């Protein structure tokens, strides 16, 4: 049966051979990374998952193998039988793990030939991503990509081990489920047996994991594929993976404690980093006020300061009006920034904040003996003194202010803060700043839908002390919701859930659902609450993003084996594709004619 | 923040309290299994995932708790604070693990109320499956169902641990992929960004795992959701889960050896059973000839015997003609069966084999001094002696024969054998018979498509010595394919794959694909073979069925948290459902009007 491998059985992986293997015979198999023909000697760098080993062909060792080796080209797949020998001092290669030895080939079998690859199989190639994805099987041979996917495997394994040890049970929830659009768009799957009906692919296992808590499973987890048919941004994919977990008989502190243990374990075992617990915490309010973001990057300063009280009655109408209309005036002190921005560069910062809705950006440059600013002439000395005090300003600093609705102030200054952090090189890339943001608002107003929508999702419980607000000022209610933030990225989020029919119905009412509509879409959950639901809550992490950050990468596409590109297509398989009319007929659908 | 749980923190799980916990204070939380009110004393059986504990409420212990306990009903969710005490001798309940202790309640908090459930939450209920599935969250509270899903978790965990330790890497492959229908029907997902185009949900990760081998990952696995839009049989689901693995630089024996270790580990760690290795093996030919099945249940005898050579020239035309037309005559000896089947029952066996296409069933009953049979009068004494010898027949035995094309003979006698095994109680239910069936035919003729189709799939490699048959008599070629069979069920299967463009194209040619068609559908794989593909092969197990068999169950629905019913709908969520016209419009499809 072993014609296939020429009767050979692999004895070693390429990258694992060491001095201690010298004088043994080895059978290695892999890809030709490089071939150098020095007349009477041919050197092959042979590559497998573990690394590279040098193989030497010489007529003296074996004439037949030497002859065959002349035909080898990059990416040929071969099996080599040979002797492991010590390299001479001057040929030792300290750059590779196997650099002290080489294999003298006694036998060579070609297992697979290769055309010239469209790009070299090595790290740091300068190739368009589309070409890499079209030939993904070549791209994935690169050591960097192999490491990325192995890290992903490791993170999943660590997570499963930890949660299993903690008594969590992994349960698989359905992929073909019910469409309950709320938030993102569903991917739909036409039903063959029920003409005109459709399944939806899950946006998350949320409803099912809650049902599992009502089923008494107590602690559930799943590393689950989820689907959202949204327009792709840089770090979004149509399908993505969540580490999803849920616990019964818990409140916020229990979920937070468990998840701190989990994330610390992942950091320790995946990349060898110690995380000190407990993690920092910021309330949503504090995060917005200090960083202008609910996922603050706390690796650098440039914190926001509120000067609204100081300028409330100012002659500078821009400031005074913002406060009068319920907004605020806030600023950032760019310490020692006074001489880092020419007038033209300050104008560029003004344009920058405008892209986030701000109407302008006021600046004050502080030199040793004067303030330069287009706005100081409108401010009283008291106001100026107040501002400088509030901003901890000193000579050499640059102050930047936005006056507007809070929303706009936070967003534009938060973005400006990040931009300045990068531009001024204030971010320590080796640092991993993990923290919780808590006490999120329960609701947020959707301009698009002209109604309040759930900030997290409609199943999130209000904070106990804010439940009564649902009847009066629901927009003021805070939720038992918490996000885990890493270096300015939300890597996970969760909440304690509502577990009573009454409160859940109240929540749907606040969201503007009629009772009928709520029951039609989520009746199975509301009904389940009537048969003994335990208090429960949980968490979900974006695995793709987590692994990306652990690997120090910029895009989740580099930690996904076969990702889609921006337009949700796959350059390798060319999916999606037109299908046979027969298939559509069986599914009781037809394609609409384009207008 | 802990208003939710009344300031309480669970200290123990219900089912884990023991004598050693006596005199400690405990906080337990769970569901009311049963409430007995004996006037001044109320007993509650409190249930969580780990089992049941008895809680006693008495005015003497705490009046307030006692008062509240009067309102408790089945399936209420409660938290109890109390003292663990030893039960008196006469009240010890040896049937439950906690039967030597009880909890005297000092405090009671109701966390969730319950309506009267539509069926009791206990094992061995007599309720329609549709009702169980509609209220799946109640059904899943039953100890049997909890055990089933915990076993499933355990099997997945054992598998991941074993394979990870063996150097396999779990890689997630896409769910939104390309439709390449060959075999089963695809589930399709309309694309919003590509009008008229569709993704398909994967029937298996086959092509992607082969691409991962070409990518140099060497050893891959995935516990992967797969989808087939087929009409549901008893043990099929629209979505199901595979343990999927693939290895590079291997031949048949390597894959078999690894998988024997894996399955032995699963049996040992999941249900404590030792499997002796290596497993038995049967070639496909031998399995068919001895058991009339390629997934034989070898827990009992009743093997088939071929008597074609004996009756080839018989006067009994039914036998002689079958042989003359290239078929065969085969029989089963039902040992000591002569007096177990009345004439009417024998007629029923004739009807039984007819449902599998046999034209009849010939029988010979052997008593102490004569043969009874409708056919012996057509047979010569030599033929009769030959048959009795071949069948190892003795007085008291019953012989049963079918004469037809091999296909019909094997199928009808194979099914008859299983039927007789059950009816005569020959099957030892406590036994787990695991074996390999090897050397499957590469092709089988599809009456429906009027062409040869792949017996496993089109990527399966022929056996080395049969490759040349592809050009002459491809239907005779055997494949490097192997199935793992457990008690008559195929629990897994795999093969060594083709890894060259030429052989793969040849295979598509044999299957009747034009070169264009093959490239349009599988071009990305054929192309990948051109850039250095290693020899590779693998295996896939049906996880649902494996867990079902390990748990000793009859249906995979009992090992799936939220399964679909026969018509592929979900009684709980009511999926699939009609969707908004707006959603369809965005997807560029419309529903066809019904005729």
**What CATH number has the domain bearing residue B29?**
2.40.50.140
Residue B122 covered by a domain = no
Interhelix angle A406-423/A343-354, nearest 10 degrees: 130
Residue B46 covered by a domain = yes
A100 is in an annotated binding site: no
Mean pLDDT of chain A: 95
Distance from CA of A299 to the nearest CA of B (A): 29
pLDDT confidence of residue A451:
84
Of B439, B251, B458, give the one whose Cα is nearest residue A3. B251
Give the tens place of pLDDT for each residue, B233-291.
667 899 999 999 999 999 999 999 999 999 999 999 999 999 999 999 999 999 999 99
Residues 516-545 (B) with a CB less than 8 A from some CB of A: 524, 528-535
Partner residues linked to B29 by β-bridges: B79
Neighboring chain A residues of B463 at a CB cutoff of 8 Å: 1
Q: Is A239 on the interface with B (CB under 8 A)?
A: yes
pLDDT for B11 beyond 90: yes
CA distance B44 to B37: 9
Of A183, A185, A207, give the one whose Cα is nearest residue A198. A185
* B468 and B404 assigned to the same domain: no
Mean pLDDT of all residues in A188-196: 97
pLDDT for B85 beyond 50: yes
Q: Is B79 on the interface with A (CB under 8 A)?
A: yes
Q: Which pTM does this prediction carry?
A: 0.96
* A257 and A165 assigned to the same domain: yes
Count of C-beta atoms within a 10 Å radius of residue A175 = 23
Distance from CA of B372 to the nearest CA of A (A): 49
Burial (Cβ within 10 Å: 0-12, 13-18, ≥19) of residue A387: buried
Residue B554 covered by a domain = yes
Domain end marker among A60, A93, A112: A112
* B403 and B423 assigned to the same domain: yes
Mean pLDDT of all residues in B528-539: 97
Task: Please judge whether B218 and A49 are an interchain contact, meaning their C-beta atoms are less than 8 angstroms apart.
Answer: yes
Residue reference for tokens 């993904």 = A136
Task: Please judge whether A112 and B195 are an interchain contact, meaning their C-beta atoms are less than 8 angstroms apart.
Answer: no
When comparing pLDDT for B432 and B234, which is higher? B432
pLDDT for B522 beyond 60: yes
Domain end marker among A427, A461, A489: A427
Q: Which residue of chain B comes nearest to A192, CA vs CA?
A: B229
pLDDT confidence of residue A447:
81
Per the rule left: phi > 0, alpha: psi between -120 and 50, beta: everything else, B425 is: left
Beta strands, E only, A230-389: 239-248, 280-283, 304-306, 328-334, 362-366, 371-372
pLDDT confidence of residue A595:
56
Q: Is A256 on the interface with B (CB under 8 A)?
A: no
Give the tens place of pLDDT for each residue, A277-302.
999 999 999 999 999 999 999 999 99
Task: Please judge whether A174 and B532 are an interchain contact, meaning their C-beta atoms are less than 8 angstroms apart.
Answer: no
* A365 and A319 assigned to the same domain: yes
Residue B579 covered by a domain = no
Count of C-beta atoms within a 10 Å radius of residue A528 = 24
**Helix, coil or strand: residue A585:** helix
Give how many domains chain B has, as a whole number.
3
pLDDT for B1 beyond 60: no
* B405 and B530 assigned to the same domain: no
* B180 and B264 assigned to the same domain: yes
Q: Is B477 on the interface with A (CB under 8 A)?
A: no
* A423 and A440 assigned to the same domain: no
Question: Pick from B77, B198, B216: which is nearest to A141 by CB?
Answer: B216
Q: Is A191 on the interface with B (CB under 8 A)?
A: yes
Give the tens place of pLDDT for each residue, B141-166.
999 999 999 999 999 999 999 999 99
pLDDT for A128 beyond 80: yes
pLDDT for B3 beyond 80: no
Contacts by A260-265, CB closer than 8 A, 24 or more apart: A261/A162, A261/A166, A262/A159, A262/A162, A262/A163, A263/A434, A263/A484, A263/A492, A265/A158, A265/A162
Cα angle A580, A581, A586 (rounded to 5 degrees) comes to 105
Q: Is B421 on the interface with A (CB under 8 A)?
A: no
**A544: CATH:** 3.30.930.10
pLDDT confidence of residue A379:
95
Question: Pick from A29, A150, A576: which is nearest to B249 by CB?
Answer: A29
The torsion defined by the Cα of A492, A498, A504 and A509, in degrees rounded to 10, comes to: -50
CA distance A365 to A397: 6
Determine if the peptide bond prior to B541 is cis (ω within 30°).
no
pLDDT-derived band at A1 (thresholds 50, 70, 90) equals: very low
Give the tens place of pLDDT for each residue, B368-387.
889 999 999 999 999 999 99
Burial (Cβ within 10 Å: 0-12, 13-18, ≥19) of residue B516: exposed
Distances (CA, A) of B455 to A397, B276, B281, B425, B452: 76, 29, 19, 33, 9
Residue A577 covered by a domain = no
Q: Cβ distance B475 to B460 under 8 Å?
A: no
Give the tens place of pLDDT for each residue, A566-580.
999 999 999 999 999
Determine if the peptide bond prior to A576 is cis (ω within 30°).
yes
Partner residues linked to B315 by β-bridges: none
* A420 and A442 assigned to the same domain: no
The number of C-beta contacts closer than 8 angstroms across A and B is 385
Mean pLDDT of all residues in A359-384: 94
**A357: CATH:** 3.30.1360.30
* A419 and A442 assigned to the same domain: no
Token pair of A211 as six digits: 């049902």
pLDDT-derived band at A184 (thresholds 50, 70, 90) equals: confident
Neighboring chain B residues of A561 at a CB cutoff of 8 Å: 171-173, 208, 212
Q: What is the domain range of residue B378?
A: 300-427
Q: Which residues, 6 or more positions from A459, have their beta carbon under 8 angstroms from its beta carbon?
A: A206, A207, A210, A495, A497, A498, A504, A507, A525
* A417 and A441 assigned to the same domain: no
Give the tens place of pLDDT for each residue, A230-283.
987 667 899 999 999 999 999 999 999 999 999 999 999 999 999 999 999 999
Token pair of B36 as six digits: 């007995």
CA distance B29 to B81: 9
* B251 and B308 assigned to the same domain: no
Q: Cβ distance B244 to B212 under 8 Å?
A: no
**Helix, coil or strand: residue B115:** coil
CA distance A103 to A109: 15
Residues 147-166 (A) with a CB less than 8 A from some CB of B: 149-150, 152-153, 156-157, 160, 164
Give the tens place of pLDDT for each residue, B332-364.
999 999 999 999 999 999 999 999 999 999 999
Of B297, B302, B266, B303, give the one whose Cα is nearest residue B487. B297
Residue A570 covered by a domain = no
Give the tens place of pLDDT for each residue, B484-512.
999 999 999 999 999 999 999 999 999 99
CA distance B262 to B271: 14
Q: Which residues, 6 or more positions from B208, have their beta carbon under 8 angstroms from its beta carbon?
A: A561, A562, B173, B174, B177, B202
Mean pLDDT of all residues in B297-314: 97
Mean pLDDT of chain B: 95
CA distance B200 to A478: 42
Q: Is A564 on the interface with B (CB under 8 A)?
A: yes
Residue B195 covered by a domain = yes
ipTM beyond cut 0.85:
yes
Partner residues linked to A371 by β-bridges: A366
* A488 and A404 assigned to the same domain: no
pLDDT for B595 beyond 90: no
pLDDT confidence of residue A234:
66
Question: Pick from A48, A194, A215: which is nearest to B140 by CB?
Answer: A215
Of A407, A76, A7, give the one whose Cα is nearest residue B529. A76
Among A159, A174, A523, the strongest candidate for a mutation testing the B interface, having the largest count of B CBs within 10 A, is: A174
Mean pLDDT of all residues in A214-226: 98
């Amino acid at each position: 049966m072993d014609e296939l491998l020429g009767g050979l059985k692999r004895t070693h992986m390429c990258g694992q051979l060491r001095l201690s293997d010298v004088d043994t015979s080895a059978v290695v198999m892999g890809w030709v990374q490089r071939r150098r023909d020095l007349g009477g000697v041919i050197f092959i760098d042979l590559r497998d998952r573990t690394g590279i080993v040098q193989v030497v062909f010489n007529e003296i060792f074996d004439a037949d193998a030497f002859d065959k080796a002349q035909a080898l080209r990059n990416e040929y797949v071969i099996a080599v039988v040979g002797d492991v020998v010590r390299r001479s001092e001057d040929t030792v290669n300290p750059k590779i793990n196997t650099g002290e030895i080489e294999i003298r080939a006694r036998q060579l079998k070609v297992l697979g030939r290769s055309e010239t690859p469209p790009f070299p199989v090595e790290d740091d190639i300068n190739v368009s991503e589309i070409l890499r994805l079209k030939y993904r099987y070549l791209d994935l041979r690169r050591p960097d990509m192999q490491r990325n996917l192995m890290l992903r495997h490791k993170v999943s394994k660590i997570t499963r081990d930890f949660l299993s040890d903690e008594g969590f049970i992994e349960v698989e929830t359905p992929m073909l489920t019910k469409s309950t659009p709320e938030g993102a768009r569903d991917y739909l799957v036409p039903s063959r047996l029920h003409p005109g009906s459709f399944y939806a692919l899950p946006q998350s296992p949320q409803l099912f994991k809650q049902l599992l808590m009502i089923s008494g499973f107590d602690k559930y987890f799943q590393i689950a594929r989820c689907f959202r048919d949204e327009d792709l941004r840089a770090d979004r994919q149509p399908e993505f993976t969540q580490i999803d977990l849920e616990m019964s008989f818990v409140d916020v502190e229990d979920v937070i404690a468990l998840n701190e243990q989990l994330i610390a374990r992942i950091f320790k075992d995946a990349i060898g980093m110690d995380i000190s617990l407990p993690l920092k915490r910021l309330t949503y309010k504090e995060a917005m006020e200090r960083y202008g973001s609910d996922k603050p990057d706390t690796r650098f300063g440039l914190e926001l300061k509120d000067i609204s009280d100081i300028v409330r009655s100012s002659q500078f109408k821009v400031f005074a009006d913002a406060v009068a209309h319920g907004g605020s005036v806030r600023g950032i002190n760019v310490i020692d920034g006074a001489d880092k921005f020419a007038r033209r560069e300050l104008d560029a910062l003004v344009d920058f904040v405008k892209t986030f809705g701000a109407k302008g950006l006021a600046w004050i440059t502080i030199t040793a003996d004067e303030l330069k600013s287009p706005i100081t002439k409108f401010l009283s000395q008291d106001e100026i003194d107040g501002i400088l005090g509030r901003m901890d300003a000193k000579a050499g600093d640059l102050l930047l202010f936005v006056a507007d609705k809070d929303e706009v102030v936070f967003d534009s200054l938060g973005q400006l803060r990040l931009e300045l952090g990068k531009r001024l090189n204030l971010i320590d890339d080796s640092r991993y700043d993990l923290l919780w943001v808590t006490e999120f608002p329960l609701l947020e107003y959707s301009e698009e839908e002209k109604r309040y929508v759930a900030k997290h999702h409609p199943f999130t419980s209000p904070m106990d002390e804010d439940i009564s607000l649902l009847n009066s000022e629901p927009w003021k209610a805070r939720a038992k919701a918490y996000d885990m933030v890493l270096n300015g990225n939300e890597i996970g989020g969760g909440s304690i859930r509502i577990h009573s029919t009454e409160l859940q119905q109240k929540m749907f009412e606040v969201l503007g659902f009629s009772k009928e509509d709520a029951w039609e879409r989520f009746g199975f959950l509301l009904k389940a609450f009537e048969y003994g639901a335990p208090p429960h809550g949980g968490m979900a992490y974006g695995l793709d993003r987590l692994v990306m950050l652990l690997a120090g990468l910029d895009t989740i596409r580099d930690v996904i084996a076969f990702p889609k590109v921006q337009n949700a297509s796959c350059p390798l398989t060319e999916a999606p594709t037109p299908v046979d009319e027969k298939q559509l007929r069986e599914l009781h659908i037809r394609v609409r004619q384009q207008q």
